[in-house]
Amino acid sequence: ILAERSSRQLVYSNLANEVGVAIDTVRRWVEVFERLHYGFLIRPWYTNVSKALRKEPKWYLRDWSGIDDAGERAETFIACHLLKAVQGWTDLGLGSFELRYLRDKLKREVDFLVVRDRKPWFLVEVKTSDTSLSNSLSHFQKATRAQHAFQAVMELPYVDANCFDRKDAVVVPAKTLLSQLL
């Protein structure tokens, strides 16, 4: 069941009802799957920590290769690489990094927010082929004051350019962005 939910919000109560067990049991199962490196959770970002803890996390598989839906596979692929980057940067002592996502009451969402030392650093919205800039990306860049905002498009060819030179929301090839992480 979790394999079918990669890149989606994980609502524990829905999963508990579907399987017929208690919510706490589902939470424990998810924790075990995380420890076994089957998947990982990304929590929403809020300045109010207690509010973030009440909101549903998003679940991602560590192995994206078996995901049928191209959009979910692309988002999971990018999630895995961003997680590796934030863990690597933290381990290297470059700061304290976190991987989060953004969603507001109007259901505007950006797939990923990389936080550096508790401050929004850059946003990533993942698309398989759509090159029209996401309105949510620009909105959340202004709202969070993130330095960079990237719409990473999987099907665009690699470009020899530094994504981090751009301060405005920009469409970039996923290959180019990923090559500049860790």
**Would you state the pLDDT for residue 151?**
99
Q: How far is CA 104 from the centre of its chain?
A: 15
**Would you state the pLDDT for residue 51?**
53
**Would you state the pLDDT for residue 71?**
96
Q: Residue 53 — very low, low, confident or very high, per pLDDT cuts 50/70/90?
A: very low
Q: What is the average pLDDT score of the chain?
A: 94
For residue 126, report the phi and psi dihedrals to the nearest 5 degrees: -100, 135
- Quick: pLDDT tens for 22-44: 999 999 999 999 999 999 999 99
- Residue with more model confidence, 51 or 178: 178
What is the arithmetic mean of pLDDT over 103-123?
95
**Would you state the pLDDT for residue 48?**
60
The region of weakest confidence among 45-54, 72-81, 92-101, 147-156 is 45-54
Q: Where are the domains of the chain?
A: 2-179
What is the arithmetic mean of pLDDT over 106-122?
96
Q: Which of 62, 66, 18, 5 is CA-nearest to residue 39?
A: 62
**Would you state the pLDDT for residue 54?**
57
Is the overall model pTM greater than 0.75, yes or no? Answer: yes
User: CA triplet 145, 149, 155: central angle to 5 degrees?
Assistant: 170
What is the token pair recorded at 87? 């863990």
Reply yes or no on whether the pLDDT at 86 is more than 90.
yes
What is the arithmetic mean of pLDDT over 98-120?
95
- Residue with more model confidence, 170 or 105: 170
